[in-house]
Amino acid sequence: MSARITCPVLSTRVTSAEDAASHIHHGDNVGFSGFTGAGYPKATPAALHDQIVAAHDRGDEFRIGLWTGASTAPDADGVLAEAHGVSSRLPYNSDPVMRRLINTGEVDYIDAHLSHSAQHMWFGFYGNLDVAVIEVTAVLPGGLLVPSGSVGNNKTWLDQADRVILEVNHWQPRELEGFHDIYYGTALPPMRQPIPLTDPMQRIGEPYLRVDPAKVVAVVETDRPDRNTPFAPSDATSAAIAEHVVDFLRHEVSAGRMPPGLLPLQSGVGNVANAVLAGLDGSEFTDLVAFTEVIQDGMLDLLDSGTLRAASATSFGLSEIGVRRFMDHIDAYKGRILLRSEEISNHPELVRRLGIIAMNGMLEADLYGNVNSTHVMGSAIMNGIGGSGDFARNAFLNFFLTPSTAKNGAISAIVPMVSHVDHTEHDVQVIVTEHGIADLRGSSPNDRAVKIIERCADPRFRPALQDYLDRARAERPEARHTPHLLDEALSWHQRYLDTGSM
Amino acid sequence: MSARITCPVLSTRVTSAEDAASHIHHGDNVGFSGFTGAGYPKATPAALHDQIVAAHDRGDEFRIGLWTGASTAPDADGVLAEAHGVSSRLPYNSDPVMRRLINTGEVDYIDAHLSHSAQHMWFGFYGNLDVAVIEVTAVLPGGLLVPSGSVGNNKTWLDQADRVILEVNHWQPRELEGFHDIYYGTALPPMRQPIPLTDPMQRIGEPYLRVDPAKVVAVVETDRPDRNTPFAPSDATSAAIAEHVVDFLRHEVSAGRMPPGLLPLQSGVGNVANAVLAGLDGSEFTDLVAFTEVIQDGMLDLLDSGTLRAASATSFGLSEIGVRRFMDHIDAYKGRILLRSEEISNHPELVRRLGIIAMNGMLEADLYGNVNSTHVMGSAIMNGIGGSGDFARNAFLNFFLTPSTAKNGAISAIVPMVSHVDHTEHDVQVIVTEHGIADLRGSSPNDRAVKIIERCADPRFRPALQDYLDRARAERPEARHTPHLLDEALSWHQRYLDTGSM
């Protein structure tokens, strides 16, 4: 019996990935573990890929509905997309091969608020879940599971699936036991109760996932690393954005609108987010706490320096260097990092109660403060809304961050009208680019437009934006709340498609 | 001492509306009571109108920031707009004179989620509140106030204002005492606690508003009715929409996705909403409960018939006949109707916990399920988002309802791309017109488009919508997640502006 599988019942189910994958059939809905490239299954997807390809070679149909926590990796989303084995996908994807199939229309993609995904499954809105494929760190007696490097929707998939495949990944440190807080107090309306969490680091659950051993059809042992996206060092643009954010927080504290220890931080994934964390690390702020989705390399820096006291999240999202660092000092992080289900990490009730400071990237914003986080030129999806809506809508204070231009200046991130809306003018408080910050709180649309043009737009695009605004205001003097020239509102995007530049 | 004012301290502050209004100065932010034309101040605004006009005649500036619960009436919003005495307005307006000034750009309008308005004031995002003008039913000793026909933001305005003017309206039945549940457990982060409400009719507060008597600069006695908008009887289109909704609920119950007694109902204001209520009243559903914003005439029908056991809201919104009916049987309604602050009636925590069925009107929806609730042809605001976002985002199930056409068929409520987004594709579940119902849950954008065209669009507009979709899909085969023709996406609206028809 493997040291990682001490459950007498489940140790008898250890088998090959090929055998495990054989429990997945055409038409099944399959729930994978995985969030930000951490904790996704690593062997079963490849075996499933081979079985799908073989079926297709025989002329048989074989496509599944694929549900996850959020993004996985090339060896999960990627291989199944390559096999053309996915009919539908939810709630979030960032894999480039899968993205291409979504954008050609081969894969039906349901881009959902992450806090909604588990409950919509429970509500019956997504149909039946046939199989769950869940990576864990260890299997204890009685079907108690030590979770892996992400929690995501694992609790829901394990509870709801007809059949369960477990992957026990020896690469995940055994010491992950104790890093998780799995809340089993959720219920369906009308039986729901208040979620008792009032402090980001409060434990309201237990350190283990549960599974009914009778449902486990296969246990696969693996020893393979997570995706571990390389950490992109901060550039001058990101650093400038970060400086604006830190200055703004400082200003809010001095104005008495924010406690000196700030409020719990949520930070999106990526370069700009890491720069903001670095900016905080170089500031006077200390003893902060995070209530967020993902523990990135930048958060380890803050935990090490004491800028961050502790962090609650649903997943790691570390580079290879970050992973090594985490593993080398894993005992020092225990008690300071807590991973929860994404229905809890992103829960509107908790985000609002705790008064989160939400910081998320975006693709573009328009003159009136509508934000597009997902769609390139209106039609093609990039990744998905993820948790940005859960956090932004319910935050105490939200920031949307972006460089003012993309594609070497060909694209302005500030446009007359966004080509897709993920966060409406009602939800967007502070927009930041390297040029400055537009504080939209308590502002009318016309005030917002002035601030966004003057403070956030790239100077090369400001005259054209101002000209659009002036002409829109002039055209229909009786319709000046959010004045638009409808035959021109999306012309910047069309021009980019036609000419390669806005 | 008036029988309605038994507080020895505050009875000494009784004065004229003119004297009360003299406590309001140019540049003040002023918080009015009032929600859906109920419980707004009725004498002070007119006196303030006169003082503003006199100041303007003298060449002096006199404009205020006007904050309310939601919509008031011609004798509140209307008279101040007529006097050109308002510089900014939040969080919701439906007054036609005020709307005109918002749309010409004279009044800065901050159209906010109603659940956000009180907390954003507390957070300091709106600036200082100088004066509160609050209608009440009676003033008890110690500064306890029997609230009027709406609660709205009254608690927050009373707490936060530097100076308070009370209007005691003898027209409001004295028996309103006991109809309110004012929760005083709110706090600023990081001190927030779970809101203990787990049942729509649970009392978590007290029946009275509180005011510090030292802040009360004037008490004005009035005897004037609320706005009491006439009740529009259901027409064939509304009745058809209602029938689709009731059928759909029936279907959800039989599919096991909804308990037989449904879940708490939220219903927007107006003709279609009343038709849905009438539809429920004629159905087999019984012993239902509402957790909503407004008690309309339709809800009284349901309460009388027993279809509705009880209703929680923040305001009445009755016709003259409805008012009479309510007053005639007021004792029978006590304990079955509870009015709360709008931060509670609309709270995301509670809407999600209770699992609300949200039903709201809209102006238009697009092929992918984005909904415009507020802006006519992109630029001019109609009313505002109100509570529709609070409810739709956090509901168990949400409906957006509209006739398929407006202006005698000149406008299609289903368009290629909405001209303004209030509810994104991530938030919209079920779209209903008189032609049918599009269930978008768990659907990809392309599936949504097919359903919306086939089931909701007016048959006259279906071929053009399908043609747009076909050509958008064909134009960029690599960008088919939400395919759009950007130079044509808003052309239906432009055509309406140019020709009077889409």
pLDDT tens digits for B43-63? 999 999 999 999 999 999 999
- Residue of chain B minimizing CA distance to A351: B349
Last residue of a domain, one of B222, B239, B256: B222
Residue A329 lies inside a defined structural domain of this protein: no
For tokens 């950007």, what's the residue?
B486
What is the distance between the alpha carbons of residues A442 and B112, in angstroms, rounded to a whole number?
9
Taking an 8 Å cut-off on Cβ atoms, the answer to whether B421 and A424 are in contact is yes
Per the annotation, the verdict on A293 as an active-site residue is yes
Does A488 touch chain B if contact means CB atoms closer than 8 Å? no
Q: Which residue of B has its CA nearest to A101?
A: B478
Query: The CATH number of the domain where A377 resides is what?
Result: 3.40.1080.20
Q: Does A459 touch chain B (CB under 8 A)?
A: no
> Choosing among B379, B480, B493, which should be mutated to test the A contact, i.e. which has the most A CBs within 10 A?
B379
Q: Which pair of structure tokens corresponds to residue A293?
A: 């989705």
| A474–chain B Cβ distance below 8 A for any pair | no
Q: At residue A467, what is the residue type? A: D
Q: Which amino acid is at B240?
A: A
Instruction: Provide the residue range defining the domain that includes B426.
Output: 356-499
Kindly state whether residue B294 falls inside one of the protein's structural domains.
no
Domain boundary among A222, A245, A264: A222
pLDDT for B160 beyond 80:
yes
CA B347, B351, B352: angle at the middle one, nearest 5?
120
Q: Do B487 and A491 lie within an 8 Å CB cutoff? A: yes
8 A C-beta contact, residue A409 and residue A458: yes
- Shortest distance, CA A429 to any CA of chain B (angstroms): 10
Please indicate, yes or no, if residue A285 is contained in any of the structural domains: no
DSSP A290-309: EE-SEEEHHHHHHHHHTSEE
Tokens (6 digits) for B122: 């507390």
Instruction: Return d(Cα B421, Cα A421) in angstroms, integer.
Output: 7
Distance in angstroms between the alpha carbons of the first and the last residue of chain A: 62
Of A259, A348, A482, the CB nearest to B349: A348
DSSP A231: P
CB atoms within 10 A of CB B364: 25
Which of A88, A446, A494 is facing B105, going by the closest CB pair? A446
Residue A116: give its domain's CATH number: 3.40.1080.10
Mean pLDDT of chain B: 97
Name the residue in chain A with its Cα closest to that of B356. A189
* Residue A269 assigned as binding residue: yes
pLDDT per residue over B492-501, tens digit each?
999 999 999 9
Q: B127: nearest CA in chain A? A: A442
Residue A56's CB is within 10 A of a number of other CB atoms, namely: 15
Peptide bond into A189 cis (omega under 30): no
Residue with tokens 């429970």: A122
3-state secondary structure A265-283: EEECCCHHHHHHHHHHHCC
Looking at residue A133, what DSSP letter applies? E
Band the pLDDT of A1: cuts 50, 70, 90: low
Residue A156 lies in a domain: yes
Domain contains A373: yes
pLDDT at A413: 98
Per-residue pLDDT for B233 more than 80? Answer: no
The reply to whether A289 falls in a domain is no
Predicted confidence band of residue A419 (pLDDT cuts 50, 70, 90): very high
State phi, psi for A90 to the nearest 5 degrees: -155, 165
Give the best residue of A258, A424, A475 to mutate against chain B (max B CB count within 10 A): A424
Chain A: residue whose CA lies nearest to B196: A194
Q: Between residues 345 and 404 of chain B, which touch chain A (CB distance below 8 Å)?
A: 348-349, 352-355, 370, 375-381, 385, 389, 393-394, 396-397
Q: Do A379 and B484 touch (CB under 8 A)?
A: yes
pLDDT-derived band at B273 (thresholds 50, 70, 90) equals confident
Mean pLDDT of the A364-382 span: 98
Residue B407 is assigned to a ligand binding site: yes
In a domain, A45, yes or no: yes
Q: Among candidates B472, B481, B479, which has minimal Cα distance to A107?
A: B481
Answer yes or no: is B247 within a domain: no
pLDDT of amino acid B1: 59
Arithmetic mean of pLDDT over chain A = 97
Domain finish residue from B204, B222, B240: B222
The Cα B132–Cα A432 span in angstroms is 35
Residue from A252, A293, A342, A364 carrying the catalytic annotation: A293
Write out the H or E segment, with its range, that includes residue B47: helix B44-57
CA distance B196 to chain A (A): 7
- Please count the structural domains in chain A: 2
- Chain A partners within 8 Å of B422 (Cβ): 424, 426
User: Which amino acid type is present at position B134?
Assistant: I
> Does the ipTM exceed 0.85?
yes
CB contact under 8 A, A354 and B192: yes
Instruction: Give the global pTM.
Output: 0.98
Nearest to A118 by CA among A69, A73, A180, A71: A69
